[in-house]
Amino acid sequence: MCFVHQVAVDAPGLQLLDYSAETPLAPGTLVRVPLGRQTVSGVVMACTAMDDSPRAIALRPIEAAFDTLPPLDAAWRELLQFVARYYQRAVGEVIGAALPAQLRNRKPADLATTTPQDLVYRCTEAGLEELGASLARRSVALWRLARALGVPGPEAADAPPDPADSAPLALSEARSLHPQARQVLAEWAQAGWVELVDTAPSAASMPAPDLHPEQAQALQAIAASDGFAPFLLFGVTGSGKTEVYLQAASQVLQRKPGAQVLVLTPEINLTPQLVRRFEQRFGAAHLAVLHSGLSEGQRLRHWLAAHTGRARIVLGTRLAVLASMPSLRLIVVDEEHDTSYKQQEGARYSARDLALWRGRQLGIAVVLGSATPSLESWRAAQTGRYTLLTLTQRASGVLPRVRLADTRRDPTLRASGALIGQTLDAALRQRLERGEQSLLFLNRRGYAPVLSCPDCGWMSDCPHCDAHLVFHRTDRTLRCHHCGFQAAVPRACPGCGSLDLQPVGKGTQRVEEALAEKYPQARIARIDADSTRRKGAAASRFDSVHAGEVDILVGTQMVTKGHDFQRVTLVAALNPDAGLFTHDPRGPERLFAQLMQAAGRAGRAVSDQDGSEASAPEMLVQTGHPEHPLYRALVAHDYPGFAQAELIERERGGMPPFTFQALLRAEHRSFDAVVEFLAAAQQLAVPLAQPLGVTLYPPIPAALARVADVHRMQMLLESQHRGALQRMLTSWRGALAAQRSRVRWAVDVDPLDF
Ligand code: ADP
Ligand code: ZN
Ligand code: ZN
């Protein structure tokens, strides 16, 4: 007698494989199995008894099982299979995205795990710094204990300790690392290196404010919900959405012992305040944080905290939606419209959509929050599929007034290279005089998007991409923002030898320079991907803005997200018109969301510290199209009006959310190979698509048709019915795989980028 185990192995491209074992392993057990000449990790998905038939005997045996780790539960395993099926990927690839690398590469013996427990030890800051030195190389077991608490190992002696390393450690867990763990930890506590923290969620360290009536109504609706209940919490920046999340989470935790809450946020580095607020409210020991910026060790510890139930709140970016949370009772998706919820590589899943799927699976509430919901969610709220909760007022401060400055009527902007119009100039001077801050943003880093020769029309194009090289003045380079190619600025035009090469258009560096020239007394800071490349650079620049050491902040969209700037009373967008007229059908939606979000950076403060009235907060948009309906809606703070107009357009154009789409993306260095592959793909698709009523569009080049010498093309599929599209894709994908083409291809379901 032996047992056949179906295992989802951690190897891209592979579905479930069979392995044998003499005793049955519970589904969800993490195992190590042989694959070719390697050993890889996998998750047991099913197990059946089998006689000693030749087939059973021929199976390779499971090498080891992580039996100290609680098995991944059925709900998680279903999620894994759903992601693979819906997004047309192999299960093996989804495992790779869902489990931390250290779990996938370790042997079971290396892994200390734990049962949920409310009393845990935590390393103090002093401990992080001193404990390691006190141990020197004394005992392996002591070191194991210290490392589990996050103390940097001897090899990291020179690196400063990172407080994010400090991980809660339960006593049971500690005992498995050191037999006398209790005594040792008591000694360390005496020395001030560790502290015992109570992780019971009632131990909130910060009191919650009383809710405003609209907030209270929203909270009440969420708390009263039963079973799967999707909510759209619609409220401008500062209207108190986060406070509603906090109190909804708190209610869930108090009502059900051991319950867990998942909070998704687009980019954790841009929302440090969100993490801090959850920490303050619930205590850091209850919080696991999951995002791609963690070290492998940190990611494993936080993942385990979620999986074992020790973490009551898991706060993370899109990958956190795949976390194992056995007692999940509430999901929050903050800024649900944000496109970074869509994974753009490998298994291209949408974390927002998966959050809703998990909510339905578990029969729990899902709160989607936004000031500018995605049109998908807005329509769902309009048709009653989601419950709409609205916060109309700012919780503190006032909404900025939005003004449009017409660039066509502004004589100062006629001069070539002029960037700051009259209206903006006056507004900036007023802020400078009053000692208030201004924030200017535009979506282009570098000095100018292209360098050009007025004599012969030469342009600085990337030799490897269908894109311009961006002129960076600080180091006099031309750089490709797509492939990283870099070249020195040529002294003369490569086309005609002219010495008069001109920067065309504007980037953040150029704006910074123009501001410095115009306002020599002002302290100016720039925040974009170039100025913040060093680790910690972004944080320290933001800190100096918060500290009032900056008068004018210039940046890309990095500055428009998340931060609560107390002293900013002016936000200006420098000609965002390009977003109105892109090939991208979602361009307007994105532009509107970005401008609203940027507007939200102004007017947090009511009055100055010395009591004098601050300027009325305002947002200024320099535009050549002030009559455009999008800007009109912006001035009126009218998201519903904007969304309704957009939805009418979408319905007319047969676009999502009125249809469902998928994209076959293909790329290769040989253009012909891509064309050939897609022609074959189209032929295969026709007989599959017709009976299901799926519309096929001919293959076309991607918006960026060549990157780093790789040609990229795509083919769009569309259907009124999600199910029909799914069936078509599943058979088509099989047929495509059988082609064994050298072209790299992938199916992108519900694509956001074209
Ligand atoms: P949002 O998430 O919609 O941007 P927040 O929840 O961050 O809004 O609230 C904006 C500000 O108002 C925060 O400083 C928050 O602490 C404060 N705030 C929110 N709700 C209340 C309330 N009911 N009473 C007092 N202050 C509140
Ligand atoms: Zn020239
Ligand atoms: Zn390039």
Report the residue among 212, 396, 601 best suited for mutation to probe ligand 1: largest number of ligand atoms under 8 A from its CB. Answer: 396
Tell me, yes or no, whether 637 lies in a domain: no
Q: Which of 139, 169, 196 is the last residue of a domain?
A: 196
Task: Please check the confidence at residue 164 and state whether its pLDDT lies above 70.
Answer: no
Same domain, residue pair 81 and 225: no
Residue 574 alpha carbon to ligand 1 centre in Å: 29
Cβ atoms of 332 and 243 closer than 8 Å: no
Same domain, residue pair 261 and 314: yes
Q: What is the pTM of this model?
A: 0.85
Banded pLDDT at 114 (limits 50, 70, 90): very low
Same domain, residue pair 539 and 608: yes
Same domain, residue pair 423 and 525: yes
Report the residue among 243, 247, 367 best suited for mutation to probe ligand 1: largest number of ligand atoms under 8 A from its CB. Answer: 243
Residue 497's CB is within 10 A of a number of other CB atoms, namely: 12
What is the percent of the chain with per-residue pLDDT over 70, rounded to a whole number?
A: 92
Same domain, residue pair 174 and 314: no
What gap in Å lies between CA 666 and CA 677, rounded to an integer?
8
The pLDDT of residue 140 is 80
Same domain, residue pair 98 and 185: no
For residue 732, give its domain range. Answer: 660-749
Task: Using the Cα atoms of residue 183, residue 189, residue 194 and residue 200 in order, give the sign of their dihedral.
Answer: positive
Q: Which of 144, 161, 196 is the last residue of a domain?
A: 196
Tell me, yes or no, whether 456 lies in a domain: no
Q: Which of 196, 222, 240 is the last residue of a domain?
A: 196
What gap in Å lies between CA 310 and CA 283, rounded to an integer?
13
Q: Whose Cα sits closest to atom 26 in ligand 1?
A: 395
Which ligand is closest to the CA of 463, given by its number?
A: 3
Cβ atoms of 194 and 226 closer than 8 Å: no
Q: Which atom of ligand 1 is nearest to the CA of 239?
A: 3
pLDDT digits (tens, 9 = 90+) for 392-448: 988 877 788 999 999 998 988 887 778 899 999 999 999 999 999 999 999 889 999
Tell me, yes or no, whether 190 lies in a domain: yes
Which ligand is closest to the CA of 486, given by its number?
A: 3
Tell me, yes or no, whether 629 lies in a domain: no
Mean pLDDT of 593-620: 77
Task: Please check the confidence at residue 571 and state whether its pLDDT lies above 90.
Answer: yes
Tell me, yes or no, whether 415 lies in a domain: yes
Residue 491 alpha carbon to ligand 2 centre in Å: 11
pLDDT digits (tens, 9 = 90+) for 721-745: 999 999 999 999 999 999 889 999 9
Tell me, yes or no, whether 478 lies in a domain: no
Residues 6+ apart with CB under 8 A from 474: 447, 509, 530
The pLDDT of residue 137 is 64
Tell me, yes or no, whether 32 lies in a domain: yes
Question: Is 123 annotated as belonging to a binding site?
Answer: no
Same domain, residue pair 217 and 323: yes
Same domain, residue pair 165 and 226: no
Same domain, residue pair 320 and 413: no
Enumerate the β-bridge partners of residue 235.
391
Highest averaged pLDDT of the listed ranges 134-138, 266-270, 275-279, 564-568: 275-279
Same domain, residue pair 228 and 280: yes
Highest averaged pLDDT of the listed ranges 42-56, 404-418, 661-675: 661-675
Same domain, residue pair 107 and 132: no
Cβ atoms of 361 and 78 closer than 8 Å: yes
Task: Please check the confidence at residue 607 and state whether its pLDDT lies above 70.
Answer: no
Where are the strands (E) in 22-85, listed by range? 30-35, 38-50, 64-65
Angle at 117 between CA 307 and CA 121, to 5 degrees: 100
CB of residue 242 inside a 6 A radius of ligand 1: yes
- Domain at 691, CATH number: 3.30.70.360
The pLDDT of residue 92 is 87
Same domain, residue pair 410 and 273: no
Query: What is the number of structural domains in the chain?
Result: 5
Banded pLDDT at 111 (limits 50, 70, 90): low
For residue 220, the one-letter residue type is Q
Mean pLDDT of 139-165: 72
pLDDT digits (tens, 9 = 90+) for 438-476: 999 998 899 999 999 999 999 999 999 999 999 999 889
- Domain at 224, CATH number: 3.40.50.300
Q: Which atom of ligand 1 is nearest to the CA of 371?
A: 3
Residue 664 alpha carbon to ligand 3 centre in Å: 23
Residue 710 alpha carbon to ligand 3 centre in Å: 10
